[in-house]
A and B are shown apart, each in its own frame.
Chain A
Amino acid sequence: MFLYLPYNTFLHRLHPATKLIGLILLLVVTVAFTTPAEQLPGLGFVLGLAVLSRSLSNLRRILPLVVTIMLFSSTTWSLFRRVGVPFWSFGPLSLSRESIQYGLAMGIRLDAMLLSGMVFVSCTKVEEFAFGLRALGLPFPVSFALSLAFRLVPLFFTRIGIVVQAQQSRGLDLQTGHLLQRARKYVPLLVPIFIYAIRDTDLLAMALESKGFGMRGTRTEYLRFPFGWRDAAIIAALLAADVIAWSGR
């Protein structure tokens, strides 16, 4: 993945399945709370993980997004949610102490989720992601399609750039025109991008078949990840956190 950071921290070394389950358990904790005071420790915990996994640099990259989400989420929920005694209202919009609190809490929740997702991608390679999914029971062809797609994205990115340049140099201008005209202008871009991608289908499929992909029998795995006491401990701790958070609601 683009965002993977090649460190060798405790988090990087976890079993891929642990990372996947852990991420979900962590996300479930963040959904349990509805006030900023309850949410903040969760956010702090995620930031702590970011420090441990040395992924702060990635977090910094999405800082603008994190800030806009915070602002957007807190304003919309504050205005639309009707709780408590409004001290201001206009049509369907109103503001109260409680609604503002709720808005802030939702903003933090969303941010905590984004950041935990970011920590996950910072310390998980694509092949580990796919391995984790297989370890959790996903059939091989499915995990393979997913990881192949990951590999192809940068390639397609480059190709899209070339197609855009090729059509620009033939005078394509996407900036002008009304909606339908603009839509038409996407055709000279989307057609070559699409055709060029799909044209490879048979080649890729042949190359796969040539390496025994069609066998669909028992496979062996080149990668091995030991499932250690750390993995068990992490899952147990997050599970406990989930139970506590949800029973305390």
Chain B
Amino acid sequence: MQPLFHIRDLSFTYRHASHPALHGITYTHQAGEFTAIIGATGAGKSTLCRCLNGLIPAFIKGTLSGELTILGERMTGRPVYDVARRVGLVFQDFEAQLFSTNVELEVAFGLENFAVPYEQMRDRVREALGRVGLTGFEGRDPSTLSGGEKQRLAIASILVSRPMILVMDEPTTDLDPIGKRDVFHLARALRQEIQGIILVEHETEHVLTADRLVLMREGRILADERPQELLSDPGLLETNGVRPLQTTVLLRRLGLPTTGLDVDTAFHIIQDAGWRADPAAVARLHQPISNLADHEPVIDVNAVSYQYDAGPAALDAVSLTIRRGEFVAIIGQNGCGKTTLVKQFNGLLRPTKGSIRMLGREASSWSLAELGRRVGYVFQNPDHQIFANTVQEEVAFGPRNFGLPEPEIDARVVEALQVVGLRGREDEDPFSLTKGERQQLAVASVLASDPEILILDEPTTGLDYHGQRSILDLIRRLNQTGRTIIIVTHSMWVVAEYAHRCVMMQRGRIVADGDIRESFKDPARLADLALEAPEAVRLGARLGVPVRSVDELYGCLTR
């Protein structure tokens, strides 16, 4: 049978690059298949996607060899619009793929370019919007949609051209849990009608339902197997920058077959092998994660409400006390008020009602500069603050603004760079660093002012597993040296494994606040926030152990 498409010995080197981004890729896709691609940053996943819809080599210049054929027809060398009609490509960044001022026009845009007759356009637009669940949104301005809705709109705007193959390049990376859920749901449903789906993804639990799983490394295909097979090799995934399923990591450590990918199967494998909870170890777990109850409160929020002009209340009578040395995670859907809350802590926003005491004084009595120095804030995207020509200059910016003497600034820059692991790269251009390194640089530039409290807004977004681990380990070290840490995140394994305490927010209110073990006990409450505890926690619950991580669970099992 003729394959849907075939890639033969494809290599590509970007103009001005020294190494090829793709290296001898050969791949055959049969009609009806759903393939997921995983791999570390720089493995060539996005480059492959761009080859598939003809952007490479028609739009992005470089050296290409090998070829792509669709249903036996050679595509290599054709203009983008010709290939793109057959292969639709959805990008990670939903802001950068929406151009229009209303939803309907956004979907129609491709049809207009492809000169589809007017008579057909309306039906096709209606159909595409219906397909992604955006019926009724026709006249809305895309900028008023949520992230998940924007990404579904982007998918509709591709679907409407009826491509044979749909390629999605990390479509959910920038989305919150509800947005992610909806997009994955859609991707699965589309299998019925699109002959070929390719999904690049780095969250392992979401690739289980694919027919094939391709692991890429340094421009090559390292493995191409059924997901069940590839995912049961946690070591291979981990060395390639992909987070393995926690269930398989535990099974491997217990010396059991790693075929139990989901919590249920893993539980039975463990139970059947005779492993059970060790009461002594479990008893140790019931001690508090950190004993800070007698530490002084550094943040004391008292019935604070906040309202952006004329909008609904973003914070609604929130009260919260955070003590010196705590590691607090704040979770909840986008728009629930997390960021609004933490911005009160360093004075970027001031409460509309209620009061906050920071470091023992009324927040209103601190100037923004004084507070900014003692309460460091690392913004979600490091590119929102990087401006300098060198790493050194970037890190020195804060201390210099706060009026420290030059010799001290130098010492602090050295120290901050040492801590984040960028020592020795003082003279490099910040913009030539990788995303993970830029994130570390952003942390260093805040650390250099030696804050007592450090706030990090989604520090792991857009990083691969290695990048995530390295920034999280850094944050943990900072906490261990006595700094109070507050992170805002959507990533549940991060919360479980690193934080001591979890504050859950919903519609401007705190709906739960407590020790991690307590917080993760109630699956219903998490589900209410479209969240789910990580596999290790759920597996622990089945085994009767309130653990936070694979390490803890391993330590609690005995035979």
Contact = CB atoms under 8 A, between A and B. Distances in A.
Interface of A: 125-127, 144, 147-148, 150-151, 154-155, 159, 162-163, 165-173, 187-189, 191-192, 195-196, 199-200, 202-215, 217-224
A222 B81 contact: no
B221 to A, nearest CB: 23
Contacts of A222: 104-105, 108, 111-112, 118, 121-122, 125
Given A125-B102, A169-B376, A188-B387, 15 more contacts: A127-B101, A147-B101, A168-B368, A171-B397, A173-B369, A195-B383, A195-B386, A196-B383, A200-B93, A206-B50, A206-B59, A211-B109, A215-B114, A221-B118, A222-B121
B91 A168 contact: no
Contact of A171 (B142, B143, B369): B369
A245 to B, nearest CB: 35
A192 to B, nearest CB: 5
Question: Which applies to chain A's interface (DSSP): helix, strand, loop or mixed?
Answer: helix
B96 A167 contact: no
Contact of B93 (A144, A165, A203, A212): A203
Given A168-B348, A220-B112, A222-B112, A126 B84 contact: no
Nearest to B110: A211
A167 B98 CA distance: 29
Contact of B112 (A154, A163, A169, A221): A221
Nearest to B451: A169
B448 to A, nearest CB: 9
The size class of the interface chain B forms with chain A is 35 or more
Contacts of A191: 386-388
Interface string B339-358: 00001001010000000000
The 7 residue pairs across chains A and B that have the minimum distance between CB atoms = A171-B401, A212-B113, A191-B387, A222-B108, A207-B97, A211-B110, A203-B96
6 contacts: A125-B101, A170-B446, A196-B383, A202-B60, A206-B59, A211-B109
Interface in B45-94: 50, 53, 55, 58-60, 79-81, 84-85, 88-89, 91, 93
Candidate in B91, B99, B398 with the most chain A CB atoms within 10 angstroms = B99
A210 B80 contact: yes
Given A170-B385, A196-B383, A207 B96 contact: yes
Contacts of B142: 151
B95 interface: yes
B105 A192 contact: no
A165 B343 contact: yes
B493 interface: no
Given A221-B112, A221-B118, A155 B143 contact: yes
A156 to B, nearest CB: 11
Contacts of A207: 91, 96-97, 99
Contacts of B110: 211-212
Contact of B91 (A150, A199, A203): A203
B399 to A, nearest CB: 8
Candidate in B58, B100, B142, B346 with the most chain A CB atoms within 10 angstroms = B100
A127 B102 contact: yes
B171 to A, nearest CB: 13
B465 interface: no
Contacts of A224: 118
Contacts of B348: 165, 168-169
Nearest to B94: A207
Contacts of B386: 191-192, 195
